[in-house]
Structure 1
Amino acid sequence: MDAALLRRLTPAVIAILVRRGADFAAAEDAFQDALVEALRVWPDDPPQDAQGWLVTVAWRRYLDARRADVSRRRREVVVEEQPAPEPVSSSDDTLWLYFLCAHPTLTPTSAVALTLRAVGGLSTRQIARAYLVPEATMAQRISRAKRTVSGVRLDEPGDVGTVLRVLYLVFNEGYSGDVDLSGEAIRLTRQLAAAIDHEEVAGVLALMLLHHARQAARTDVDGSLVPLADQDRTRWDTSQIAEGVDILQTALARDRLGEFQVQAAIAALHADARTVEETDWVQIVEWYDELVRLTDSPIARLNRAVAIGEADGPRAGLRALAQVDQEVPRHDAVAAYLHEQDGDLETAARLYAAAAQQATSHPELNHLTKQAARLNSRHS
């Protein structure tokens, strides 16, 4: 059986069932029952219309489950006795499911988990392994999310920005366990791009591709982080870079600028430089100016300070950094880097050590600790 096909069909089938009246959890249960039946039947008798077959069988399983519940059958008998309607076009239903999984009543963590389960077709065990939590914990998280969105009807278009932020959260989880979440986020975003013509969807897809193109060069053989300036650029995936740039240029030509297009433009400028010395930092600063204008994000201001430090010198970067709240994540790390570039090794070492204490991952902790040790050794 084609596992990739089933994963592509998952959101369309579940969305159709929900639109017909099944609550979210019941729709997914019915779909899982249909998958079990497909495993039994398809090897000897594959259907011509896989989606239509799954919808029909899942809908029957859903009705069977409803009839087994006498109290519910009394409330819903009229609906239950109606014949299952013919399958409809899946594109709108798939898009609707994206919006449902990114519903504003859900926390970002729950929205990501529900998206991976319902839209991505990943098992609860796979999602739990990716997030390094017990399977029971993830099952509870997904169950709560399902209950939250049960009965929600999206009578108006959902917020594309919310959907994209959820997908980008998935992407930034990277690789963990047996699931490449960055690759999964790209797959889901491609699916979304096929269902909706939106320049910011194209922008986030381009951004993902441009970042993912550098994946192989981001770590050493021992798992240590390799900063962008030190990466072996011959290991970057040029085909992904070319695709990302092409998608970005098409989106920018529509002249409806958004934050993900701006971030992708910055990533494209990094990807375009054959060496770190050839990086067009002046243009990167200009794009960060646009990003700050669009979002007023403290993270954007932090990264802008780095770019200014590269374009106009470390002291200019430190002046820009002074305007950023010191509680912003990675503030100490950026300050350490700029002070090192300015020749103040003692201050830089102290700040690298402070940044290490705030690290959120072991590779980041090791990298910052090594930076502090390196500068302390040089200073002494």
Structure 2
Amino acid sequence: MLIDFIINFCILFTFAILTYIPFQNRLNIYIPSSKYNPFILGILSGLTGCLLMLTSINISDFVIMDGRMAVIALSGVLGGPFATIISGTIIGLFRLFMYGYSTSSLIAGSSTIIVGLVIGILSLKKTMTFQNVPYFFGYSIVHTSLIIGFLGNWTFETWMAVISFILYSIVSFSIIFIVLNQLSNLFEKIRHIEEMSVTDHLTGLNNNRKFQEYVQNLLEKNKVFSLLILDIDYFKKVNDTYGHPVGDEVLKELALRIKDASNPYGGIVSRNGGEEFSVLLPNTSEENSLESADLIRQAIEKNVFQISSGEKLDITISGGISTFPQDAVTTHELYKLADEALYLAKTSGRNKVVHINQSN
């Protein structure tokens, strides 16, 4: 019997790991479309439940013990309400005909379907998570225990079957729950580290590394786009007068404003260092880039910056633009040309945007 317990648990454990990692996209494994996940997970969970029943442990003439209730509950966490309903239905129908049609199999199979339906309906109102799944699982255990007791007329043998069922279900579910919960925390930390590696810590924008990736992706598409480099006018004066903490306030607020102003054009905003920002404008020619960039500049100029001391600052920016492929075809050259255009904007009065071709 011990071997049967181990085999049954190993199937349950394998199911949990192999469905959790890809369908939660924790390791960037490609899934064609997430909209099919609930149905795929529901079917996989149902088939796993059937396999668990085929390797179940007989503890009485009418009771088999396996990890199917854990599968139904976990399918709800991973795939949502529909996954729970689908898995419960498949497992229930299989239980109905597993040992041939009988009253006890009809009741047991129908009970499993009901468990899946009830959990699915409840999770429509309260999304299943690792935090609340023990409550849903607890319901399934209570429900199934009552059915086992009813079928066995609550004899001593029935009580032993119920206790065995409860102990095995709780132990197996608890182990799976702890492992998946730890994996969830681990992958969340990995995701956070990955996010930090491509995010500017102060503004939350893309950092220079992510900027390089975006430029490379646009170059590979071989479609026109423009690169806008922005720099705060007289930012050193802000730092010298009010201190670097206020300077940081200005940078954070400026980042939000540039991002909001760039959204209508599909702009990809990054902080490339210090007070220098960049905006990638996909599918934007030279003429359109100047128009878009000047609207971004105006959005900064027209609204004063209120700092923590209560004072209001007039902040302006200057910008330089280069366009692919007419001006350059590499990241380095595009950036160099946009930086040259920025220099022209600075030296010709500031608070303006210049395209590199305007210098010719």
Q: Same fold (TM over 0.5)?
A: no
The structure where helix makes up a greater share of residues is 1
**Greater relative contact order structure (CA < 8 Å, 6+ sep):** 2
TM-score (norm 2): 0.26
Larger Rg over CA atoms = 2
The structure where strand makes up a greater share of residues is 2
